[in-house]
Amino acid sequence: MSVSLARRRSGGEYARIVLSRDLIRLYPELYHVAADGSWPAIERHGLLSPSALVTRWGVKQGAPQAAILAKRRGESRVLEHAEFGTAVIRHQKAIHEPSLDDALDDMTLAEWYAALNERVFFHLQPRLLRDLLTARSYRDDAHTVITLSTRSLVAAHEDEIELSAINSGFAQRHSREPRGRDTFVSIAHFHHPTRSHAVTKGQDIAELAIPRGVRDLRDHVVRVERMREGTVLERLA
């Protein structure tokens, strides 16, 4: 290996370490909102992406899987398995499809839905968690809110983690936030802020995603709560 190449690789490794430390410092906890009653299955199987769930729960390939994964879900889909029990794949009511289609740069709608369904998503900021829990499509229901340690998750999954500057599953009427193949990027390639106080829109991280899911989720859990809007109804773990 040449000296210059070694230096470049060394510099890239240094940058990755610094950016990971910033991620942990600025966002010490991560939040995932799951369906009410879903914690036992998640605790057993891990937090699986929708595409991984339909495979694990034995949904037949072809049209049955496509009905769940290949288009916008107007309602949540409930999967039943004789051994595994119930799993819920959440709705996508926050997507206005014509606006999403207009916002896509280099992907079709089907490709974008495939990208969403291949990943599990986490909020990094309490205010975004509150916004979701109080949104019209969510505020009347109870939800399972899983809080993870960012430090622990990064230590185990750093090479898989992707970051996004937008809420990828949110595209309301007249949304103008462009999205496409470059929406999800590695920690090392995301230009997130390095200061600890509030950041301006466009500089912050809206989501952390992991393709396929987090099978060892239990190892990173800080707490699991049943919540409605901003109120904790029950501590589950």
For residue 95, what pLDDT is reported? 93
For residue 19, what pLDDT is reported? 84
Q: Is residue 187, in this structure, part of any structural domain at all?
A: yes
Q: Is residue 163, in this structure, part of any structural domain at all?
A: yes
Per cent of the chain over pLDDT 70 is 88
Q: Look at 30 and 19; give whichever has higher pLDDT.
A: 30
State how many domains the chain has. Answer: 1
Q: How confident is the model at residue 192 (pLDDT cuts 50, 70, 90)?
A: low
For residue 203, what pLDDT is reported? 55
Q: Is residue 157, in this structure, part of any structural domain at all?
A: yes
Mean pLDDT of the 20-44 span: 94
Q: Is residue 120, in this structure, part of any structural domain at all?
A: yes
Q: How confident is the model at residue 85 (pLDDT cuts 50, 70, 90)?
A: very high
Mean pLDDT of the 109-120 span: 96
Q: What is the pLDDT of residues 130-150, one digit of tens each?
A: 999 999 889 999 999 999 999
Q: Is residue 72, in this structure, part of any structural domain at all?
A: no
For residue 106, what pLDDT is reported? 92
For residue 176, what pLDDT is reported? 76
Q: Is residue 25, in this structure, part of any structural domain at all?
A: yes
For residue 237, what pLDDT is reported? 95
For the question of whether the overall pTM of this predicted structure is more than 0.85, the answer is yes
Q: What is the pLDDT of residues 60-81, one digit of tens each?
A: 999 999 999 999 999 999 999 9
Mean pLDDT of the 214-232 span: 96
Determine how many CB atoms are found less than 10 A away from the CB of residue 48.
Answer: 22
Query: Average per-residue pLDDT in the chain?
Result: 89
Q: Is residue 227, in this structure, part of any structural domain at all?
A: yes
Q: How confident is the model at residue 234 (pLDDT cuts 50, 70, 90)?
A: very high
Per cent of the chain over pLDDT 90 is 74
Q: What is the pLDDT of residues 14-26, one digit of tens each?
A: 656 778 998 999 9
Q: Which domain holds residue 214?
A: 3-38+94-235
Q: Is residue 84, in this structure, part of any structural domain at all?
A: no
For residue 60, what pLDDT is reported? 95
For residue 41, what pLDDT is reported? 94
